[in-house]
């Protein structure tokens, strides 16, 4: 095995460099993974903004949506074997704080994330805690298997939406997260799925992934349009997959319906009419990353229940990552997956 590797390293102030880094050493409880593929997340784009919309440590190897093959295991690594294919739950918890003991590891007091605060998967090799590794089927294409991590986060959200078969759903935002919601709601038996998205490229992806109605918010009031296609009632469930669409979500949901807030925007301070929430007996719930649902996400992908391939617009090498990031910023990409095995 070589002693160095090429990696995508965050340099601070919006800068990303593709440079040589040493192949990581593993601690006794770690495994060494040869990365097959790594997705680019909206959080990565936020980290690279100036000023940053999400914190990260300068010098860190980015990438938290990855899959690969275990090549070495530490003496204390339990439950993982050399040669297994694993996806990694990159949001790491301590397991011993009060939140972890309550069953809420996604709110761990010592919460950290690979690819943001410790080295991640945009490199040929990555060291990861064995406890965060989940075996995934080798039959799944690597670019799809890399989506296990974001899918797990959306599984958490879907579970909190309490969808009943036949109900109508509106998803605001058809970025990668919104498209994952669309796929899972469709698979869970939604009777009608409406997507609200201003970008034609993303609306087209939503149509290919099973959306019944795709609305362009620039062409009229999307909340009224949602009501029009639900016989005036509004959707049973509305998801804000953007992070600043609470007001629209409240306008599009039916009396007694549920609003799920999933997208995150720390700069958004929406003004809402609280009276409407009370008078219409609405349930508004937030969902933050995944909580003990990673194995479920892996099973969903292995089952073939959802087809996520239409959302992947770009499959690129690590060296081509900077141009792919530009495509995301320009609205010319939906989901970018970096193939770390390209050319091998």
The answer, yes or no, to whether the previous bond of 51 is cis (omega within 30 of 0) is: yes
The active-site residue out of 27, 46, 54, 199 is 46
pLDDT at 226: 98
Q: What is the DSSP string of 280-307?
A: TT-EEEE--S-SS-HHHHHHHHHHT---
- Give me the percent of the chain exceeding a pLDDT of 90: 93
Residue 267 pLDDT grade (very low, low, confident, very high; cuts 50, 70, 90): confident
What is the rounded average pLDDT for all residues in the chain? 96
Closest among 234, 239, 240, 266 to 253, alpha carbons compared: 234
Write down the CATH number for the domain with range 153-286: 3.40.50.720
Same fold, 4-147+308-339 and 153-286: no
User: 50-64, pLDDT tens digit by residue?
Assistant: 999 999 999 999 999
The answer to whether residue 291 scores a pLDDT higher than 80 is: no
User: 313-328, pLDDT tens digit by residue?
Assistant: 999 999 999 999 999 9
User: 107-133, pLDDT tens digit by residue?
Assistant: 999 999 999 999 999 999 999 999 999
334 three-state secondary structure: coil
Residue 2 pLDDT grade (very low, low, confident, very high; cuts 50, 70, 90): confident
Closest among 50, 115, 57 to 89, alpha carbons compared: 115
CATH superfamily of 4-147+308-339: Medium-chain alcohol dehydrogenases, catalytic domain (3.90.180.10)
The active-site residue out of 43, 64, 230, 314 is 43
Mean pLDDT confidence for 298-308: 97
State pTM to two decimals: 0.96
- Give me the percent of the chain exceeding a pLDDT of 70: 99
338 touches 316 (CB < 8 A): yes
pLDDT at 265: 85
pLDDT at 296: 96
Mean pLDDT confidence for 24-38: 98
In the residue annotation, 43 being an active-site residue is answered as: yes
Residue 342 pLDDT grade (very low, low, confident, very high; cuts 50, 70, 90): confident
Domain boundaries of the chain, sorted by first residue: 4-147+308-339, 153-286
In the residue annotation, 162 being an active-site residue is answered as: no
Give the Cα separation of 247 and 272 in Å (integer): 6
Structure tokens at 336: 């970018």
Higher pLDDT, 270 or 47: 47
Residue 290 pLDDT grade (very low, low, confident, very high; cuts 50, 70, 90): confident
Mean pLDDT confidence for 242-270: 94
The answer to whether residue 32 scores a pLDDT higher than 90 is: yes
Residue 319: other Cβ atoms inside 10 A: 13
Closest among 141, 215, 188, 204 to 305, alpha carbons compared: 188
Closest among 142, 144, 146, 147 to 341, alpha carbons compared: 142
pLDDT at 344: 64
User: 198-243, pLDDT tens digit by residue?
Assistant: 999 999 999 999 999 999 999 999 999 999 999 999 999 999 999 9
Residue 101 pLDDT grade (very low, low, confident, very high; cuts 50, 70, 90): very high
12 touches 57 (CB < 8 A): no
């Amino acid at each position: 095995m070589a002693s160095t590797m090429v990696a995508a390293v965050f340099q601070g102030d919006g800068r990303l460099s593709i440079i040589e880094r040493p192949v990581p050493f593993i601690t006794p409880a770690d495994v060494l993974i040869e990365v097959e593929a790594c997705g680019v997340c909206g959080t990565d784009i936020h980290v690279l903004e100036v000023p940053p919309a999400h914190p990260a440590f300068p010098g860190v190897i980015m990438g938290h949506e990855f899959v690969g093959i275990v090549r070495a295991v530490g003496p204390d690594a339990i439950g993982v074997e050399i040669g297994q294919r694993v996806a990694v739950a990159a949001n790491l918890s301590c397991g011993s704080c009060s939140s972890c003991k309550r069953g809420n590891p996604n709110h761990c007091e010592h919460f950290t994330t690979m690819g943001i605060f410790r080295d991640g998967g945009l490199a040929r090799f990555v060291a990861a805690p064995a406890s965060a590794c989940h075996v995934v089927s080798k039959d799944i294409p690597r670019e799809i298997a890399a989506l296990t991590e974001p899918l797990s986060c959306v599984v958490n959200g879907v579970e909190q939406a309490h969808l009943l078969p036949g109900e109508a759903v509106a998803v605001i935002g058809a970025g990668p997260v919104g498209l994952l919601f669309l796929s899972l709601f469709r698979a869970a038996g939604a009777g009608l799925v409406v997507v609200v998205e201003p970008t034609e490229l993303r609306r087209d992806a939503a149509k290919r992934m099973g959306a019944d109605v795709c609305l362009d918010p620039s062409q009229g009031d999307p909340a009224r349009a949602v009501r029009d296609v639900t016989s005036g009632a509004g959707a049973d469930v509305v998801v804000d997959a953007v992070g600043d669409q609470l007001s629209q979500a409240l306008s599009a949901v039916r009396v007694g319906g549920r609003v799920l807030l999933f997208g995150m925007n720390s700069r958004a301070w929406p003004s809402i009419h609280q009276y409407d929430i009370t008078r219409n007996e609405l349930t508004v719930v937030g969902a933050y990353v995944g909580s003990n649902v990673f194995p479920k996400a892996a099973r969903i992908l292995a089952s073939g229940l959802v087809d996520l391939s239409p959302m992947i617009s770009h499959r690129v090498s690590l060296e081509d990552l900077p141009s792919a990031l530009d495509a995301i910023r320009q609205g010319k990409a939906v989901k970018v997956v970096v193939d770390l095995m390209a050319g091998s």
